Every structure is written in C-alpha cells, then in structure tokens.
Copies of this chain bind each other. A is one copy, B any other.
Amino acid sequence: MSRDDAFAELPEPPYYAVIFSSRRSDGDDAGYARAADRMVELARQQPGFLGVESTRGGDGFGITVSYWSDEDAILAWKRHAEHAATRAHGREHWYRHFELRVARVERAYGKKQHA
C-alpha cells in the first residue's frame, strides 16, 4: 500500500502538537486556500517542524494539528513575520471562531491496513 500523505510521519514522543480548530467565515475561498498552502510550505522550512494533519468538513468546521519538536520551535514559528501577518489577516477575515491548544504529546500509536 502506498503512503497516505494526509498522515504526518512523526518520531517517537515526546514532541508538541498545536491543535487549531476553526469555523471559516463565508467567502474568499481562493485567498484562504492560497494562504493555507503557503503557510504549510513555510512551516515545513522551519526548524523543529515535524509534520501537519488537516481536514475540514463541508460545514466549514476544520481541525489542523501541526507537530513540533519543542516549545521554542512553536514560539519561533509564531513570531515568523510572514506567518504573523497572515495570521492577523486570517483572524479578521477567514475565521468566524477559532480555538488553539498547545499540547505535549506523551504517547502515540497507529495502525495501517495492509491489503
């Protein structure tokens, strides 16, 4: 079975997770999609970035979990100038409501089906 790119390939815990849940505002889908892609591209270049998983249902409610080696990496990404500017724009224009939780992953396991 080929690799499923929606899943992050992560090291053994501990590491950190930023859990971002959000409800999109109506409109500007193209601008939002472009910025979301750019933020993932940029995040991948940051020291300590481990991976990201993201999904949004047809109702506009979405969850994105990004994974980081440690809290310093999360803080550096938060302070990244382009990310900070996009985030400020997003808060005003793209999200009706969002919640962000920073968590330390302590254990993990998974299962792939093999045909």
Contacts and interface: CB of A to CB of B under 8 A. Distances in A.
A19 interface: yes
A82 interface: no
Given A55-B56, A56-B57, A65-B63, A101 B108 contact: yes
B109 A97 contact: no
A61 B55 contact: yes
Interface residues of A, number: 42
A40 interface: no
Given A56-B55, A97-B4, A106 B107 contact: no
B105 A99 contact: no
Interface of A: 4, 6-8, 10, 13, 17, 19, 21, 23, 25, 53-59, 61-63, 65, 91, 95-113
Given A6-B61, A55-B59, A101-B107, 16 more contacts: A4-B23, A6-B21, A8-B99, A17-B17, A53-B63, A55-B61, A55-B63, A56-B57, A91-B111, A95-B111, A97-B110, A98-B110, A99-B109, A100-B109, A101-B105, A102-B106
